[in-house]
Amino acid sequence: MQMWIRTRKAVCSLMIAALPSSLLVASDTPAAMLYAKGTTWLNGAVVPHSSAIFPGDMVQTNNDALANINAPGSNVVVLPNSVLKYEGSAVSIERGGVTVATSKQLNTNVGEITVRPAASSKPTEFEVTDKGNVVQVIARRGDLSINDGAVTTMIVQGQQLEVDKKKKKKRGAAAMPTGSNPILTPKVAAIAGGAAGVGILISVIGGRGGCNPNPVSADNPSSSTCR
The string of pLDDT tens digits covering residues 12-22 is 333 333 334 33
Q: From the CB of residue 32, how many other CB atoms can be counted at a distance below 10 Å? A: 20
pLDDT, position 104: 87
pLDDT, mean over the chain: 73
Judged against a pLDDT cut of 70, whether residue 117 lies above it is answered with yes
The dihedral region occupied by 9, where left means phi > 0, alpha psi between -120 and 50, and beta the remainder, is alpha
> Is the model more confident about 204 or about 188?
204
Q: Where are the domains of the chain?
A: 26-110, 140-207
Measure Cα distances from 172 to 28, 67, 131, 149, 194 in Å: 47, 40, 23, 18, 13
Classify the C-alpha dihedral 135-103-26-39 as positive or negative.
negative
pLDDT, position 162: 94
Segment 217-227 shows an average pLDDT of: 43
Q: Could you tell me if 126 and 212 are in contact, meaning their C-beta atoms sit under 8 angstroms apart?
A: no
Q: In this predicted model, what pLDDT tens digit does every residue of 134-160 receive, in sequence order?
A: 999 999 999 999 999 899 999 999 999
Give the integer Cα–Cα distance in Å for 13 and 3.
15
Measure Cα distances from 53 to 18, 91, 115 in Å: 24, 12, 22
Q: Could you tell me if 143 and 154 are in contact, meaning their C-beta atoms sit under 8 angstroms apart?
A: yes
